Amino acid sequence: MENLFRLVDQDQDFFQPKWTLVNGPIIVGAGPSGLAAAACLKEQGVPFVVVERADCIASLWQKRTYDRLKLHLPKQFCQLPKLPFPEDYPEYPTKRQFIEYLESYAKHFDINPKFNECVQSARYDETSGFWRVKTLVSTGSNKTQFEYICRWLIVATGENAESVMPDIEGLSEFGGDVIHACDYKSGEKFKGQKVLVVGCGNSGMEVSLDLCNHNASPSMVVRSSVHVLPREIFGKSTFELAVSMMKWLPLWLVDKLMLILAWLVLGNTEKYGLKRPSTGPLELKNKKGKTPVLDIGALEKIRSGDINVVPGIKRFSRGQVELVNGEKLEIDSVVLATGYRSNVPSWLEEGEFFGKNGYPKAESPQGWKGKAGLYAAGFTRRGLSGASSDAMRIAHDIGTVWKEENKQLKKRTIARHRRCISLSQF
């Protein structure tokens, strides 16, 4: 008997169920997209479960971004549905303000994700017509498996779920610190160092700028080309300007106008080693998902020579990097600002709606709804504004079915109730 108790004690989950049937959708991911979907479902009266691998909401923003980060689009394009930013927020809220807003958003809509639960697999079971979502739950060092069974699955794991770590010759022999931009917090610890920043997207540019501001000497690798646009043109947000123009003009023309305006404000960026792609910035974003850089000061540091722009990397060796032009640089540390990728293919067992790159195959605004109750929130390549419109569409779609079914159910219950009353009168 004693042995039996000891057995049960050791396996604390002995009596816990290993699966649950969810009334409503499962939302995978408690970032802005998952929270927005949850809030919109709440409004429709649809219950849901949010599953999040981290121990907090918006883990990308809380754990994997640098200190100086601010939203790079004006706040009206970044707020989530149904709850605007506080009025006293600046035009470009800081990372801290954005996190505070998201926390109050979750509280306002009473969204309580299941934290430390990483979705390992999800597949649609044709026979039952349900999704089977398997998770790994971490409690301290304990790991247990769990399964959710649900009718609707909302994928909200983000375009930036995993960091891209390039395999560059000799990197393992380099010897100094090598980190991805997602682990970079501030230039403080790089003071006085020569740092190679690999990549010239928004992260690469801003990390380089931050390094300069902390008295480090960054060299930034530009292996191909990049569109740099001013964050504002004549006092108006470049993004807002593009959005307004797109209402009246074709994309190719807006692209041309953006480039002329960028040239007027920034001058010729090519002479600093920042070659422009042959495709315009908006078309490139739509087709390849490559985001233009919105300059917030890095260009000035490039002009002044504080940020050294260098071509692609050939190989690393101890304390050194050799570039494709044969030049060799002595460096102390490396920051890989080499971007992110979706992790959907690693867990979603489905190949019709999502492509191999982890994005819906259909382009925005079509890529939010798949078959058999599958949805995607936040894969529009349009940042937070895309996440909001996905969330509203998804909630409306599920809410319509939910309400209709509830109406039918109520009718049937009332009819049955009436039948019982009339029978009891005899």
Ligand X SMILES: NC(=O)c1ccc[n+]([C@@H]2O[C@H](COP(=O)([O-])OP(=O)(O)OC[C@H]3O[C@@H](n4cnc5c(N)ncnc54)[C@H](OP(=O)(O)O)[C@@H]3O)[C@@H](O)[C@H]2O)c1
Ligand Y SMILES: Cc1cc2nc3c(=O)[nH]c(=O)nc-3n(C[C@H](O)[C@H](O)[C@H](O)COP(=O)(O)OP(=O)(O)OC[C@H]3O[C@@H](n4cnc5c(N)ncnc54)[C@H](O)[C@@H]3O)c2cc1C
Spatial separation of the C-alpha atoms in residues 99 and 179, rounded to whole Å: 24
* Contact flag: residue 223 with ligand X (CB under 6 A): yes
User: Of 17-25, 36-44, 81-89, 217-225, which part binds ligand X (CB under 6 A)?
Assistant: 217-225
Contacts of ligand Y in 296-355 (CB under 6 A):
340, 343, 347
User: Of 53-61, 214-222, 361-369, 394-402, which part binds ligand Y (CB under 6 A)?
Assistant: 53-61
Which residue number, 122 or 254, has a Cβ lying nearer to ligand Y? 122
User: Of 121-129, 200-208, 232-240, 258-266, which part binds ligand X (CB under 6 A)?
Assistant: 200-208
- Using the rule CB under 6 A, which residue among 97, 116, 193, 203 binds ligand Y? 203
* Contact flag: residue 52 with ligand Y (CB under 6 A): yes
161 binds, among ligand Y, ligand X, none (CB under 5 to 8 A by kind): ligand Y
* Contact criterion met (CB below 8 Å) for 313 and 325: no
Least distance to ligand Y from the beta carbon of 32, Å? 4
Contacts of ligand Y in 214-273 (CB under 6 A):
none
80 binds, among ligand X, ligand Y, none (CB under 5 to 8 A by kind): none
Least distance to ligand Y from the beta carbon of 324, Å? 27
Site string for ligand X, 127-156 (x = CB under 6 A): ------------------------------
Measured from each CB, the residue nearest to ligand Y is 31
Residue 277 to residues 221, 227, 274, 284, Cα–Cα distance (Å): 16, 7, 9, 8
- Using the rule CB under 6 A, which residue among 52, 117, 206, 232 binds ligand X? 206
174 binds, among ligand Y, ligand X, none (CB under 5 to 8 A by kind): none
Which residue number, 174 or 347, has a Cβ lying nearer to ligand Y? 347
- Using the rule CB under 6 A, which residue among 72, 75, 276, 301 binds ligand X? 72
281 binds, among ligand X, ligand Y, none (CB under 5 to 8 A by kind): none
- Using the rule CB under 6 A, which residue among 29, 34, 339, 358 binds ligand X? 339
393 binds, among ligand X, ligand Y, none (CB under 5 to 8 A by kind): none
187 binds, among ligand Y, ligand X, none (CB under 5 to 8 A by kind): none
* Contact flag: residue 32 with ligand Y (CB under 6 A): yes
| Chain residues in the site for ligand X (CB under 6 A) | 69, 71-72, 160, 166, 168, 181, 198-204, 206, 221, 223-224, 291, 312-313, 337-340
